[in-house]
A and B are shown apart, each in its own frame.
Chain A
Amino acid sequence: MMNIKTIFGQTLAALFCLPCLHIPAAWAGDEGDPAPARARELVRMVRQDCGSCHGLTLKGGLGPPLLPETLRDKPLESLRYTVLLGRPGTPMPPWNAFMTEAEADWIVRQLVQGFPAESR
Chain B
Amino acid sequence: MKSPIALFAALFAAFLLSACAAPALRGTGDLGIVIERASGSLAVVDTSARAILGRVEGLGDLSHASAVYGRDGRHVYVFGRDGGLTKVDLLEQKIVKRIIQAGNSIGGAVSQDGRLVVAQNYEPGGIKVFDAGTLELLADIPAAFGDGGRFSKVVGLADVPGNRFAYALFDAGEIWVVDLDEPRAPKVTKFRDIGSQPYDGLVTPDGRYYIAGLFGEDGLALVDLWRPEQGARKILSGYGKGQEKLPVFKMPHLRGWAVAGRRAYLPAIGKHEVLVVDTETWQEVGRIPVKGQPVFVMARPDGRQIWVNFAFPDYGQVQVIDALEQKVTQTLAPGKAVLHMEFTPRGENVWISARDDNRVVVYDTASFATLAELPAPSPSGIFFTSRAGRIGF
Task: Select from chain A the residue with minimum beta-carbon distance to B315.
Answer: A49
How many angstroms from the CA of A118 to the CA of B216 in the assembled complex? Answer: 33
Question: Is residue A29 contacting chain B, with contact meaning CB distance below 8 A?
Answer: no
Among listed A8-16, A59-67, A70-78, A100-108, interface-contacting one: A59-67
CB distance from B103 to the nearest CB of A (A): 8
How many angstroms from the CA of A56 to the CA of B247 in the assembled complex? Answer: 21
Question: Is residue B145 contacting chain A, with contact meaning CB distance below 8 A?
Answer: no
Query: Hey, which chain A residues are within 8 Å of B153, CB to CB?
Result: 62
Among listed A17-25, A32-40, A91-99, interface-contacting one: A91-99
Task: Select from chain A the residue with minimum beta-carbon distance to B37.
Answer: A56
Tell me which of B63, B199, B215 has the highest count of chain A C-beta atoms within 10 A of its own C-beta: B63
Among listed B14-22, B131-139, B248-256, interface-contacting one: B248-256
Contact of A91 among B81, B104, B215, B337 (CB under 8 A): B215
CB distance from A94 to the nearest CB of B (A): 6
Task: Select from chain A the residue with minimum beta-carbon distance to B337.
Answer: A48
The reply to whether B38 and A56 contact each other, CB–CB distance below 8 Å, is yes
The reply to whether A62 and B122 contact each other, CB–CB distance below 8 Å, is yes
How many angstroms from the CA of A103 to the CA of B322 in the assembled complex? Answer: 42
How many angstroms from the CA of A55 to the CA of B337 in the assembled complex? Answer: 16
Residue tally, chain A, CB below 8 Å to B? 22
How many angstroms from the CA of A52 to the CA of B247 in the assembled complex? Answer: 15
The reply to whether A93 and B123 contact each other, CB–CB distance below 8 Å, is no
Task: Select from chain A the residue with minimum beta-carbon distance to B377.
Answer: A120
Query: Hey, which chain B residues are within 8 Å of A62, CB to CB?
Result: 122, 153, 155, 170, 199, 251
Task: Select from chain A the residue with minimum beta-carbon distance to B81.
Answer: A55
Contact of A56 among B81, B199, B249, B337 (CB under 8 A): B81
A61 in contact with B106 given A55-B61, A91-B215 (CB within 8 Å): yes
The reply to whether A57 and B81 contact each other, CB–CB distance below 8 Å, is yes
The reply to whether A52 and B251 contact each other, CB–CB distance below 8 Å, is yes
How many angstroms from the CA of A44 to the CA of B249 in the assembled complex? Answer: 15
Query: Hey, which chain A residues are within 8 Å of B104, CB to CB?
Result: 55, 59-61
How many angstroms from the CA of A10 to the CA of B53 in the assembled complex? Answer: 54
Please provide the chain B residues from 246 to 279 with a CB less than 8 Å away from any CB of chain A in the complex: 247-251
Task: Select from chain A the residue with minimum beta-carbon distance to B249.
Answer: A93
Question: Is residue B64 contacting chain A, with contact meaning CB distance below 8 A?
Answer: yes
Map CB proximity to A onto B236-247 as digits: 1 under 8 Å, 0 otherwise. 000000000001
The reply to whether A91 and B122 contact each other, CB–CB distance below 8 Å, is no
Tell me which of A53, A86, A91 has the highest count of chain B C-beta atoms within 10 A of its own C-beta: A91
Contact of B199 among A51, A91, A94, A118 (CB under 8 A): A91
How many angstroms from the CA of A53 to the CA of B311 in the assembled complex? Answer: 12
Please provide the chain B residues from 147 to 201 with a CB less than 8 Å away from any CB of chain A in the complex: 153, 155, 170, 197, 199
Map CB proximity to A onto B299-320 as digits: 1 under 8 Å, 0 otherwise. 0000000000000110000000
Query: Hey, which chain B residues are within 8 Å of A48, CB to CB?
Result: 337, 355-356
A-B contact pairs, 22 of them (CB 8 A): A44-B356, A48-B355, A48-B356, A49-B250, A55-B63, A55-B64, A55-B104, A56-B64, A59-B104, A61-B64, A61-B104, A62-B170, A62-B251, A89-B216, A91-B197, A91-B215, A91-B248, A91-B251, A93-B248, A93-B249, A98-B313, A118-B38
Closest 7 CB pairs of A and B: A56-B63, A93-B247, A49-B312, A52-B250, A55-B81, A93-B249, A51-B63
Known: A56-B37, A62-B122. 4 other contacts (CB 8 A): A52-B64, A61-B106, A91-B248, A120-B38
Which residues of A are in contact with B by a Cβ distance under 8 Å? Answer: 44, 48-49, 51-53, 55-57, 59-62, 86, 89, 91, 93-95, 98, 118, 120
Which residues of B are in contact with A by a Cβ distance under 8 Å? Answer: 37-38, 61, 63-64, 81-82, 104, 106, 122-123, 153, 155, 170, 197, 199, 215-216, 247-251, 312-313, 337, 355-356
